[in-house]
Amino acid sequence: MQDQINNKYSKVYSEKSFWVKIRNYAKIAGQKVTEPALIMYYCLKDKDTPLRIKLIIITALGYFILPTDVIPDITPLVGFTDDLGALLTAYELVRLHTKPEHLDKAGEKVRIWFAPESA
């Protein structure tokens, strides 16, 4: 599948690079960025997801992974706004192909990562 995608964002996507980015930056990026990224990841892994949808997901997740995007992720307060825009745009195209199990898996990760810390 990777052979069929030819843009700079999809070239940086790999499962390993996705999990490194999401684990390292979930708290910084926030739930609004993390949740759609996870939903699309689980949709990507689903054998029933059409190839054209997988291509959209890989491009969006590649943009999320790429550290040198339009607004660098290390920029305080606004570093993930472009990532959010790209992820939400892609998610709107992908949304009809998401299944309850994709939402459940992403929701579970988000609940764990963003659970309020007990006092």
Rg (CA), the chain: 14
In a domain, 38, yes or no: yes
> 12-28, pLDDT tens digit by residue?
788 998 998 888 888 87
In a domain, 115, yes or no: no
Position 118 scores a pLDDT of 47
Q: How many domains does the chain divide into? A: 1
Position 33 scores a pLDDT of 84
In a domain, 117, yes or no: no
Average pLDDT, rounded, for the chain: 81
Choose among 25, 21, 118, 32: nearest CA to 81.
32
The strand ranges marked E within 5-96 are: none
Q: How confident is the model at residue 52 (pLDDT cuts 50, 70, 90)?
A: very high
In a domain, 105, yes or no: yes
Question: Is pLDDT at 51 greater than 90 in this prediction?
Answer: yes
Instruction: Tell me the residue range of the domain where 50 lies.
Output: 2-109
pTM of this structure: 0.78
In a domain, 52, yes or no: yes
